[in-house]
Amino acid sequence: MLPTIMWPKSFPRQVRPWTGLLALLCLIAISGCQLQFGSNPLVIQPFEFPETLLPDQSYTFGFVVTARATKAPVAATPIHALLTLNDGTVLQLFNGETDAQGQITFTHKTAYRQPGGIAKLSIQAQSKTGFGEFRADVELLPSLLILPRQLPAQIAPGSQTPIVLQIYDLVNQKPVANVPVQAQLTLADDEVLARLQGQSNDRGEVELMLNLPTDLRLRPVQLVIDAQSPIGEGHIERKLTVVAPVTIRRLNTPESVFAGSQVTYTVRIDDNINRVPAAFSAVQVYLSGGDYAWGTPILDDQADANGIITFTFTAPNTTFANSL
C-alpha cells in the first residue's frame, strides 16, 4: 500500500503533484532494488536432465541451487519437486534438501504402461535468503507405438487408399501381434467420414483400406488411430488433405483460333496422389457451339504411358467452349 503524503499548508499547490510523483518513483526504485526487479534470489540449474523418458526405466534428475547475487552454491535449501501430466495427474512428488555443494538429485521410475505425451516438471527452492523456481517439459514415450509404414498425406475423392501401420512394444523392443486397431476419419466439424478397424499380424503390421466418397469436397481432414493391448495404449493423429485425383496440364493449347481451322490440343494428365503422370488415363473431350452438340464427346480415348494425349478438331463457326 502506498504511503499518504501530508503537505504543509504553506506548500505551493502547483508543485504538490510533481513532488508526489517524484516520491512515488523513489519508492518504486527502492522496492525494485530490494526485490532485484522481480528476479528470484535463488537460481536453479539442471546438471543432469533427461528430456525423453522411455517406459519402465529409471532416470536421475540433478539440480544445483545458487544465489543470484553471489553465484555461490546454497546448501541445506529445502527443495520441492513435482512431475505431472497435462491433465494434472501427479507422476511423482519429491521433497529434499541441497547438499554442501548446493546440489540435489532424485530418481523417477517410469511406468510399464506409460502413456505418451508431455509431462511438466516443477522444481521450487525456498531458503532464508529467498525463493527460486525451475520449470521444464519432459517427453514421455508411450509403451505402445503406432508406426506409420504407409500413410499418405494426400487422398482423393472416390479413391481406395491403403494405410499400413506397425504396432511396436517400446519396452521389449519388438512388434506386437493380435493388437486391435481402430481408425476414424473426420472433418473439422467432427463429421465422421469413415471408420476402420483391423488387427496386427505376426509382424505387428495391420493394413486398413480407406474408401472415400466420390462427392468429398477438397479440404483438410483428420485421421485418428488408436491401438490397445495388455502392455499399453497407442494413439496418433494425422492431418490429411483431400485433393483432386488428377490435374490436366496444358502443353499445347491455343487460346484463340479461326473458324473452320484445324485445332490441335496436347495435354498431360498428372496423378496428384502418387505425383506421377497418370498413364493410360481415360480421356473424353466435349465441345459446345456451332455444329457440336453438348453431351456427345468428340474424343473418347486414353492417354499414353506418359499421361499425354493429343487430339485435333475443326473449330466451329461460332464461339465455343471445350471441356476435358
CB 53 within 8 A of CB 25: no
Residue 292's nearest CA partner among 315, 311, 312 is: 315
- What span, in angstroms and rounded, lies between the C-alpha atoms of 259 and 240? 46
Fold of 42-140: Immunoglobulin-like (2.60.40)
- Fold classified for 144-242: Immunoglobulin-like (2.60.40)
Q: Quick one: which of 233, 214, 216, 232 has its CA closest to 224? A: 233
Beta bridge partners of 321: 288
Q: What is the pTM of this model?
A: 0.61
The grid cell for 135 is: 520449470
pLDDT-derived band at 13 (thresholds 50, 70, 90) equals low
Contacts of 221 (CB under 8 A, 6+ apart): 155, 185, 186, 187, 193, 239, 240, 241, 242
The rounded mean pLDDT for the chain is 83
Kindly report, residue by residue over 110-150, the tens digit of the pLDDT: 998 888 889 999 999 998 878 999 999 999 999 999 999 99
**What would the mean pLDDT of 196-217 be, rounded to a whole number?**
90
The answer to which of 36-40, 66-70, 153-157, 305-309 has the lowest mean pLDDT is 36-40
CA 126 to CA 79: how far, in whole Å?
Answer: 7
Alpha carbons 282 and 252: distance in angstroms, whole number: 19
- Residue 270's CB is within 10 A of a number of other CB atoms, namely 18
With a cut of 70, say whether residue 324 has pLDDT above it. no
Instruction: Quote the CA–CA distance of 269 and 278 in Å, as a whole number.
Output: 5
The topology under which CATH files domain 246-323 is Immunoglobulin-like (2.60.40)
Half-sphere exposure at residue 99, Cβ-oriented, CA atoms within 13 angstroms = 7
Give me the residue spans of the domains in the chain: 42-140, 144-242, 246-323
Band (25; pLDDT cuts 50, 70, 90): very low
